[in-house]
């Protein structure tokens, strides 16, 4: 079985401070990891995926298979980063798009 | 392109009734997935349809069912509603396994 854990339900930082949203997963096969974000009154949307190794809106995430983690980081948080962030896992062994989500972290960036 | 649309947006039903929710994917997307979102359980995968066939199924009772039509539109049905079925039901469509596009959701309240 696969499982995604986001240990912090709430995270509050000040503008300009670094931010790290933690994500740990449990899966014996080859995972594909994603971060999805939901801004206030907007739809859930993809932020980034580990396979792309990209930086989106200043956020990066590195898949650490040894520690089974995929933490999301940004060096200087902005107020517009305030949102709900979900870490999600897809099994490479499974066809299709099925995602297992963590419970989410509500990030608040204070002015 | 128009985004994923879901109808109705809000629904109130009584225990024991049944309900049908509808999802129209982005044009050209052949995969449609359904998720249930609740405060206690977070986002949980219900099922995925691809080319009118169920490709993946989550751990939900048989009261939850779905189907997909030849135009990729999808419906999900919940029979014999229980209070615990109150949730936001999200539909997502995708063209590849690397990104899902979510709809606004249908808020179901069971009284």
Contact A101/A86 with Cβ under 8 angstroms? Answer: yes
Q: Which two tokens stand for residue B9?
A: 């947006």
B30: closest CA of chain A, how far (Å): 11
Least Cα separation, residue B53 to chain A (angstroms):
11
Chain A residue with Cα closest to B57: A98
* B contacts of A90 (beta carbons < 8 Å): 97
**Cα Rg, chain B, nearest whole Å:** 13
A55 contacts chain B (CB < 8 A): no
**pLDDT for residue A94:** 74
Quick check: helix, strand or coil at residue A66?
coil
DSSP letters, chain B, are: ----EEE-SEEEE-TT--EEEEEEPPTT--EEEEEEEETTTEEEEEEEEETTEEEEE-S--TTEEEEE-TTS-EEEEE-S--GGG-EEEEEEEESSTT--EE---EEEEE-
Q: Which residues lie below 8 Å from residue B41, measured CB to CB, with a gap of 6+?
A: none
Chain B contact for A44, CB < 8 A? yes
* pLDDT at position A100 over 80: yes
**R_g of chain A, CA atoms, integer Å:** 14
Interface of A with B in 76-105 (CB under 8 A): 86, 90, 94-104
- Residue B35 has a CB neighbour count (10 Å cut-off) of 25
- Residue in A35, A37, A66 with CA at minimum distance from that of residue A52: A35
Confidence (pLDDT) at A41:
92
Confidence at residue A29, expressed as pLDDT on a 0 to 100 scale? 84
Residue of B nearest to A95 (CA): B55
pLDDT tens figures, A47-85: 999 878 788 899 999 899 899 999 999 999 999 999 999
**How close does chain A come to B56, measured CA to CA in Å?**
7
Q: What is the pLDDT of residue A17?
A: 98
Nearest CA in chain A to B36: A101
CB–CB contact A98 B33 (8 Å): yes
Model pLDDT, residue B71: 93
Average pLDDT, consecutive stretches of 10 residues, N- to C-terminus, chain B (111 residues): 92 98 96 94 94 92 96 97 97 90 97 97
Q: Which residue of A has its CA nearest to B99?
A: A46
């Amino acid at each position: 079985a696969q499982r995604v854990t986001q240990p912090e339900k709430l995270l509050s930082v000040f503008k300009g401070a670094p931010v790290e949203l933690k994500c740990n997963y449990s899966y014996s096969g080859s995972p594909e990891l994603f971060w999805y974000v939901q801004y206030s009154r907007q739809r859930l949307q993809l932020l980034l995926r580990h396979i792309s190794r990209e930086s989106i809106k200043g956020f990066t995430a590195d898949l650490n298979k040894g520690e089974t983690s995929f933490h999301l980081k940004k060096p200087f948080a902005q107020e517009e980063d305030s949102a709900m962030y979900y870490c999600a896992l897809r099994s490479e062994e499974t066809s299709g798009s099925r995602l297992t989500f963590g419970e989410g972290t509500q990030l608040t960036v204070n002015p | 392109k128009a985004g994923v649309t879901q109808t109705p947006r809000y629904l109130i039903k009584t225990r024991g009734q049944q309900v049908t929710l509808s999802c129209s994917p982005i044009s050209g997307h052949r995969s449609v997935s359904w998720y249930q979102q609740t405060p206690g359980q977070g986002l949980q995968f219900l099922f995925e349809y691809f080319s009118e066939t169920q490709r993946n199924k989550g751990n939900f009772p048989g009261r939850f069912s779905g189907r997909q039509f030849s135009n990729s539109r999808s419906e999900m049905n919940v029979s014999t509603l229980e209070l615990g079925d109150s949730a936001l039901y999200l539909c997502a469509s995708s063209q590849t396994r690397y990104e899902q596009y979510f709809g606004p959701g249908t808020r179901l309240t069971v009284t």
